Structure 1
Amino acid sequence: MKKYTLIVLLLVVLLAACSSGAASTVKEAPTLTATEPAPTNTPGPTFTVTPDYPPEGIGPVDFPTNVNPLTGLEVADAQSLAERVVAVKIENLPREHRPQWGLNAADLVYEYYTEFGSTRFVALYHGMAPEKVGPVRSARFFDIHVVQSYKAVFLFGSAYSAVYSRMWNSDISSRLVVEGSSTYPALYRQAVNGENMLFANLTQLPAALTKVGIDNSQQDLSGMFFRKTLDVSGSSATQVTIHFSNAIYNRWDYDSSTGKYLRSVDQSNAASAAEENYALLTDQATGEAISADNVVILFVPYSYYVKNATEEVMEVKMVGTGDALIARDGQIFPVYWKRETTSSMLTLVDADGNAFPFKPGNTWFEVVGTSSQRVQEGNSWRITHAIP
């Protein structure tokens, strides 16, 4: 790609606002309380595991040409995998902007704490190209780790100046896609309830990448290991709650009829667990419940790059190894996340260093601090994010 093509675009969005108006967190040590499971609406999966899924599993290397290495599932057209992964930054606050578009079409979604009680998502797409994804918002330091790990192109709205500088001086600089005449209509504006929002149309992205000279060739995505069944048993986990702040908390309820976890999210700020108010989250593009075959909690180091009365900028490290939990099939397993270098895919391993299998399907990663509290009460687990 010719860098000079994008410089003007990057400078234009550099001055855009980066933060959302989330309520500040009140630090509390909530007591785990019983909550009613979310309704078990059955989402309509795009892919299914075939009955003859290899018992030894698929991955973490040498994936068949027609198997998506991010889901372990066959795709109808292997040519759809002959492109880079697409990473899109999606907002989570204000609540009035929910439900978002296109989350259920993502193979992987990372949710992490950004600032002042808020979280945002990085959604990864490979082999699927939804026509509407968003609302698209601004980048953070953590996004660089995700884009590097999956060798993705990155669609985002703007960035804090220091974030922009680091991205532009990193190995992802040639894969940044921002709003402008060269990337329209892959990135486009639309008025929603009187607000001018940015969205991504991934069906239009290949043409835009060609236009701006971004390499869109297929990359090596070795790293994830998939098995339909497990040789080990975990702890029962039919409900997993992730508390990021008084403003952002979510709950994953296991639906045994589909084998998936369904996501319910905060409806109001809550100063304690007893005050939390949930509702099932849907995808505005389809009306289906947001669901995941795997819910992975990553415990990673957080620190403040900037912290004052008006600004919070988080530094989040995801290179090396650390604790993790994976919930699948109604059970939860203690594992470790591993990412040896900035160019390595994130993998899960057991205590002996062997690859731990994801269930074939989609995965949501909940990225919390290393000192986050974890509490089990019966079949329910509660993770309370803490920094560092």
Structure 2
Amino acid sequence: MRFVWDRSVRGRMAAGLGVAVLGGALAACSDGGGPGRAEPPSATGGDTGTPAPTAPATHPFTGGKRGLRNPVLAVKIENTRPALPQSGVGSADIVYVEQVEGGETRLMAVYSSKLPKRVGPVRSARISDLHILPQFGRPAFAFSGVQSKMKKYIRKAPVYDISQESAGSAYFRAGPKPIPYNLYADPKNLLKQAPKAAPPRDIGFTFGPAPEGGKPTKGFTARWPATTMGFTWSAKQSRWLASWGGQPDRAAEGGVLGGRTVVVQYAKTTRSKFHDFLGSYTPLIHTTGTGRATVLRDGKAYSAKWSRPSEDKGTTFTTPDGKPMPFATGQVWVLLVNDGKPYTP
């Protein structure tokens, strides 16, 4: 069950789309450059947005005690040099880093336990977002727009569309940066446009003390075809401090971005059917199935395995002996990198 879309100055989305879970309402499209298909996620499966009777003991995204029933909001954020420093990323529960056209990356920040005052620069969505989001039930999804021919798929996706086009009052332009790097949004206002957005639910993460083993590690650099992000352990701050292109990845609010846990998830990246106006194809990141991962926490690197049976299910991470790989309580970064050398599809 998978999906597709986009519209950005840089990218036009895509991927193969299937009809099975949407009752034949959509025409099937095969991937343009790799094995496997990208079918729409179920529009009816998963969380309907109705809160469960009781809250979980800890937040399933962070392992903390805060915001246990707060709605889930996902926001697409630019992650290239003209966009830095970004706003609101430090408040996210989970930060996904996804490859887009031209070998660059874009963030998808997921919020629930707390909200920043503003977030951005907000940019357009990509196909890989809709492969990731179904595990959250039916979250609110904020983005600047999508390719016009993808709009029908957005309408059928299990998300509340609070894009600039449908929730314009929550968006504003600010600062000296030129368009499209100056579009921001007010998260509280965004969620007012999606009053039935799903509360947090289990997405496969576990939290707790670090397991035995692990390799003492000062830092790690993730590589995509046109950019890099590094994470260096800070014992003083008890978290991994992020860098972008070799320089500290500073937050607009001050300080350096980074998380308590950094997951390097090696996922097959293939060419989707669609491309942007420059002819660069949109990557399709395959986040279902199984694969290898490296989990960084507490100054150590742990070898792990990831598994996700379907797009409406969460992603579990296990140690080589099959036990759950616990994360440190706090913000989690998930770096989606190609399983192999950096690859431009």
TM superposition score normalised by structure 2: 0.78
Q: 1:236 aligns with which of 199, 207, 216?
A: 216
Q: Residue in 1 aligned with 2:46?
A: none
How far the C-alpha of 1:370 sits from its partner, in A, is 1.5
Q: Residue in 1 aligned with 2:38?
A: none
Listed one character per residue, the Cα deviations across residues 147-185 of structure 1 (whole Å, up to 9, x for unaligned) are: 21222211011123565444333333xx111114x6243
Q: Does 1:254 align with 2:240?
A: no
1:136–1:157: 8 Å Cα contact kept in structure 2? yes
Distance 1:15 1:357 in 2: 37
Q: Which runs of 5+ in 2 are unaligned?
A: 13-53
Distance 2:219 2:200 in 1: 36
1:386 maps to amino acid: Y
Distance 1:183 1:106 in 2: 21
Q: Residue in 1 aligned with 2:199?
A: 218
Q: Does 1:185 align with 2:169?
A: yes
- CA separation of 1:165 and 1:318: change in aligned 2, threshold 3 A: farther
Q: Residue in 2 aligned with 1:386?
A: 343
Q: Does 1:72 align with 2:63?
A: yes
Q: 1:319 aligns with which of 246, 269, 288?
A: 288
Secondary structure in 1 matching 2:204: coil
Q: Does 1:91 align with 2:56?
A: no
Q: 1:127 aligns with which of 109, 113, 128?
A: 113
2:98–2:106: 8 Å Cα contact kept in structure 1? yes
How far the C-alpha of 1:323 sits from its partner, in A, is 0.8
2:308 maps to amino acid: R
Secondary structure in 1 matching 2:157: coil
Alignment of 1:36-185 (within 5 A): 65=56, 67-75=58-66, 80-93=67-80, 95-151=81-137, 152-161=139-148, 163-172=150-159, 175-180=160-165, 183-185=167-169
Q: Residue in 1 aligned with 2:39?
A: none
1:261 maps to amino acid: W
1:130 maps to amino acid: P
Q: Residue in 1 aligned with 2:305?
A: 336
- CA separation of 1:73 and 1:16: change in aligned 2, threshold 3 A: closer
2:6–2:145: 8 Å Cα contact kept in structure 1? yes
Q: Which runs of 5+ in 1 are unaligned?
A: 1-12, 21-62, 267-277, 373-384
Q: Does 1:363 align with 2:332?
A: yes
- CA separation of 1:287 and 1:178: change in aligned 2, threshold 3 A: same
- CA separation of 1:307 and 1:132: change in aligned 2, threshold 3 A: closer
How far the C-alpha of 1:15 sits from its partner, in A, is 6.3
Aligned residue pair count: 297
Larger Rg: 1
How far the C-alpha of 1:105 sits from its partner, in A, is 0.5
Distance 2:7 2:178 in 1: 23
2:234 maps to amino acid: D
How far the C-alpha of 1:140 sits from its partner, in A, is 0.7
2:176 maps to amino acid: V
Query: RMSD of the alignment, in Å?
Result: 2.6
- CA separation of 1:321 and 1:366: change in aligned 2, threshold 3 A: same
How far the C-alpha of 1:67 sits from its partner, in A, is 2.6
1:295 maps to amino acid: V
1:370–1:386: 8 Å Cα contact kept in structure 2? no
1:322–1:336: 8 Å Cα contact kept in structure 2? yes
Q: Does 1:345 align with 2:314?
A: yes
How far the C-alpha of 1:103 sits from its partner, in A, is 0.8
Distance 1:153 1:333 in 2: 33
Distance 2:215 2:332 in 1: 19
How far the C-alpha of 1:91 sits from its partner, in A, is 0.5
Identity %: 25
- CA separation of 1:219 and 1:296: change in aligned 2, threshold 3 A: closer
Distance 2:6 2:331 in 1: 33
- CA separation of 1:131 and 1:96: change in aligned 2, threshold 3 A: same
1:185–1:201: 8 Å Cα contact kept in structure 2? no
